[in-house]
Amino acid sequence: MPELPEVHTTVEGLKKTVVGLEISDVWTNYKSDYTPYKNQIKNKNFFKKFKKTVTGQKIVGAERKHKNILIHLDSGDTILIHMKMTGHLLYGQYVRSNSKSQAPKDKHWLVETWRPHPKEKEALHDPFNRHIRLVFSFTNGKHLVLSDMRKFAKVTLLETEDLSVLGPEPLEKTFTFEVFKKQILKKPTAPIKSVLMDETVIAGIGNIYSDEILFEAGVHPESTPGTIPEGVLKNIFTHIKPILRKGIKFGGDSMSDYRDINGARGNFQGEHKAYRKTGNPCSKKDGGLIERKVIRGRSAHFCSKHQKLEGQ
């Protein structure tokens, strides 16, 4: 799932490519009658409203709010995109076409698809960029598309979304140790790994970066906030901003399918010290081997030798 650095990198790409452009059309093949999707473009009735609202509007800005991408229009409306597990935005020239699909065996029909123009940059032709679910066409002949292999991404208008339930933004100056401590101790008995990933506690720290933060802080992912001494909590806090900023510096993490606005891979996966390093030697002098354990449904990667389980 794209985390804070990946979303930040995407927004910076949007600022360089689509701000100032006018939307001439919108296309999607998202379709769902699932009730929670009634205010998202996956609902056909909402999509009709969405398309009518945004077509003809000029993009005047883009920003990140936690893990949400906000695209501001000159009408005063804002498009909200949450990339969820496999979504990422791409900018370039795309070609609309029909291809034959077979299912069941005795029937054929045409399925509408979008592909990068043959002359577009090589990165856009990456196989991870081919799952096009949403296309914004611009009057300059270019397109902003959403590739989303597993179809989990969320697209709506800001007026339908309330972001107030999300925790504080970890890169803001107002995110002090006092704020961090207050938020973390809201869940004193939960594993620190899970608490760091909880969007209602701190927004933007996902699976990859929580592993890397706890590795550097020397804290076992199953330690609980209520048992972690204040000095150790401060150590965790001091690693949050530097690691997230490092993720941004390296253009995000493409260990999985994340790609930037130009279709290129990020490079933070080359900086991992814990995430998906199972069986590798720990880089710390007093370390052992990196282990993997599922904690509340999510994989945690850590060194049990130098990452201490607090309260034991």
Q: Confidence band (pLDDT; 50, 70, 90) for 161?
A: low
Q: Confidence band (pLDDT; 50, 70, 90) for 158?
A: confident
Report the pLDDT value the prediction gives residue 310, as an integer from 0 to 100: 86
In the predicted model, what is the mean pLDDT of the chain? Answer: 92
Report the pLDDT value the prediction gives residue 195, as an integer from 0 to 100: 98
Tokens of 148: 């989303």
pLDDT at 69 over 90: yes
104 is catalytic: no
pLDDT at 225 over 50: yes
Sorted by sequence, the CB contacts under 8 Å of residue 255 that are 6+ apart come out as 208, 269, 272, 275, 276
**70-98 pLDDT per residue, tens:** 999 999 999 999 999 899 999 999 999 87
pLDDT at 103 over 50: no
**105-122 pLDDT per residue, tens:** 544 445 688 999 999 999
- Among candidate residues 115, 187, 292, 298, the one labeled active-site is 298
- Among candidate residues 3, 222, 291, 310, the one labeled active-site is 3
pLDDT at 55 over 80: yes
The 3-class secondary structure across the chain, one letter per residue, is: CCCHHHHHHHHHHHHHHCCCCEEEEEEECCCCCCHHHCCCCCCHHHHHHHHHHHCCCEEEEEEEECCEEEEEECCCCEEEEECCCCEEEEEECEEEEEEEEECCCCCEEEEEEEEECCCCCHHHHCHHHCCEEEEEEECCCCEEEEEECCCCCEEEEHHHCCCCCCCCCCCCCCCCHHHHHHHHCCCCCCCHHHHHHCCCCCCCCCHHHHHHHHHHHCECCCCCHHHCCHHHHHHHHHHHHHHHHHHHHCCCCCCCCCCCCCCCCCCHHHHCCCCCCCCCECCCCCCCEEEEEEECCEEEEEECCCCECCCC
Whole-structure pTM value = 0.90
2 is catalytic: yes
pLDDT at 23 over 70: yes
**117-146 pLDDT per residue, tens:** 999 999 999 999 999 999 999 999 999 999
**181-209 pLDDT per residue, tens:** 999 999 999 999 999 999 999 999 999 99
pLDDT at 237 over 60: yes
Q: What percent of the chain lies above the pLDDT cut of 90?
A: 85
Report the pLDDT value the prediction gives residue 102, as an integer from 0 to 100: 45
Report the pLDDT value the prediction gives residue 37, as an integer from 0 to 100: 80
- Name residue, tokens 């054929």: 108
What is the mean predicted confidence (pLDDT) over 213-221?
98
**285-308 pLDDT per residue, tens:** 888 999 999 999 999 999 999 999
49 is catalytic: no
- Among candidate residues 42, 64, 65, 67, the one labeled active-site is 67
